[in-house]
Amino acid sequence: MAVRVLITGVTGFVGSHLAEYALAQGAEVWGSCRWRSKTENIDHLRDQLHLVECDLRDLSSVHHLVEQASPEYIVHLAAQSFVASSWHTPAETLYTNSISQVNLLETIRPGKTDAPRFLAIGSSEEYGKVFDDELPIKETNALRPLSPYAVSKVTQDLMGYQYFQSYGLPIIRTRAFNHEGPRRGDVFVTSNFARQVAEIEAGKRPPVIHVGNLKARRDYTDVRDIVRGYWRLLESGEPGEVYNLCSGRAWAIQEVLDFMLTGSRVRGIATKEDPARLRPSDVPVLLGDAGKIERTVGWRPAIDFSKTLADTLDYWRERT
């Protein structure tokens, strides 16, 4: 019998890749979307997915969603996912990210003996301020969040811990570091650079790339590796535990930019700093240790990040 998986936020960047992966594993895939959700990421999968309309902030809609899908696995991806937006909408970010998850957990709690295995999606942003002697970051590191988004993810993470402790729900918590690839929203830096380069190549904008903080260093993994890791955790992660997903190598944003410029078909593209792209406090370095997930479920990334960047650039070239 095919395993039934419910993916909240299936229309999003990660959701669409996870849906592809789950279908390839032979799973029956259910997903939540909103009436206004853009479906371009999943249009190619439409006839293989069961879609249920649901705003996760509404408890009765969440009851309906879970009843319809009757899942054995839930991957709760839906969120206000963008750090930069969270500075402008802190209340909405905290509300959406915490209330959506508590609605799901309250819905599965009464039948806890046969409750679905639940993946709570945190983020490396939860670590926030990290000192040099704490690198690479293990799951035991202190959480010192530096943005409203990060606080919302700490809330989701600790809520997962509390529901596991209080009710024994099979909740596995994740803290993925940056993940990129085709379909990434253009508000995220790698995708944004790729889109700008593709538009310059197409003659749609002058040969100048607008940039923010190029010094920040991030641990990047391909989204296709991340969803494979999520699936391994669904199958055999330890409930109550938390897992980093990362590559263990940090790229400066400057290196990402250099890669895009070198790969561009236009020579001599200039860069210009845009103050609107700088944040009130930015995490300088995020570099993770993926030893725990590797020991537990045998996962490690397989796709080189230069391929991720090249595929992202091609994605924007096709769309431009």
For ligand A2R, which residue of 6, 7, 12, 219 counts as binding (CB under 6 A)? 12
Instruction: State in Å, rounded, how far the first CA of the chain is from the last one.
Output: 42
Q: How far apart are CA 320 and CA 314, in angstroms?
A: 10
Q: What would the x/- binding string for ligand A2R be over residues 174 to 203, using CB under 6 A? A: -----------x------------------
Q: How far apart are CA 44 and CA 49, in angstroms?
A: 10
For ligand A2R, which residue of 55, 72, 219, 222 counts as binding (CB under 6 A)? 55
| Site membership for ligand A2R, residue 308 (CB under 6 A) | no
* CA distances from residue 73 to 21, 52, 134, 142, 303 in whole angstroms, order as listed: 14, 16, 34, 29, 26
Nearest to 180 by CA among 13, 292, 11: 13
Helix 223-236 vs helix 13-24: angle between axes, to the nearest 10 degrees? 60
| Site membership for ligand A2R, residue 124 (CB under 6 A) | no
Q: What would the x/- binding string for ligand A2R be over residues 213 to 252, using CB under 6 A? A: ----------------------------------------
| Site membership for ligand A2R, residue 121 (CB under 6 A) | yes
| Site membership for ligand A2R, residue 34 (CB under 6 A) | yes
- Supply the minimum distance, in Å, between the C-beta of residue 149 and ligand A2R: 7
* Closer Cβ to ligand A2R, 104 or 285, answer by number: 104
Size of the site for ligand A2R (CB under 6 A): 24
For ligand A2R, which residue of 4, 11, 69, 251 counts as binding (CB under 6 A)? 11
Considering only residues 265 to 304 of the shown chain, the ones binding ligand A2R according to CB under 6 A are: none
Tokens of 93: 């970010």
The size of the chain, in residues, is 320
For ligand A2R, which residue of 6, 19, 75, 79 counts as binding (CB under 6 A)? 79
Q: Could you tell me the sign of the dihedral formed by the alpha carbons of 221, 4, 27, 11, in that order?
A: negative
Task: Report the amino acid identity of residue 9.
Answer: G
Task: Report the amino acid identity of residue 158.
Answer: L
Instruction: Using the rule CB under 6 A, give the single segment among 6-14, 64-72, 256-264, 288-296 that binds ligand A2R.
Output: 6-14
Instruction: Using the rule CB under 6 A, give the single segment among 72-80, 158-166, 191-199, 231-239 that binds ligand A2R.
Output: 72-80
* Closer Cβ to ligand A2R, 58 or 255, answer by number: 58
Q: Which residue is nearest to ligand A2R (CB)?
A: 12
Instruction: Using the rule CB under 6 A, give the single segment among 4-12, 133-141, 231-239, 244-252 that binds ligand A2R.
Output: 4-12
- 104 backbone dihedrals φ, ψ, rounded to 5°: -65, -45
Q: Could you tell me the sign of the dihedral formed by the alpha carbons of 250, 311, 153, 172, in that order?
A: negative
For ligand A2R, which residue of 5, 19, 75, 81 counts as binding (CB under 6 A)? 81
Q: How far apart are CA 181 and CA 320, in angstroms?
A: 16
- In the chain, what's the furthest Cα-to-Cα distance? 62
Residue 220 neighbours by CB under 8 Å, 6+ apart: 177, 178, 179, 180, 190, 247, 249, 251, 256, 305, 308
Residues that bind ligand A2R (CB under 6 A): 9, 11-15, 32, 34, 36-38, 55-57, 77-81, 96, 100, 121, 123, 185
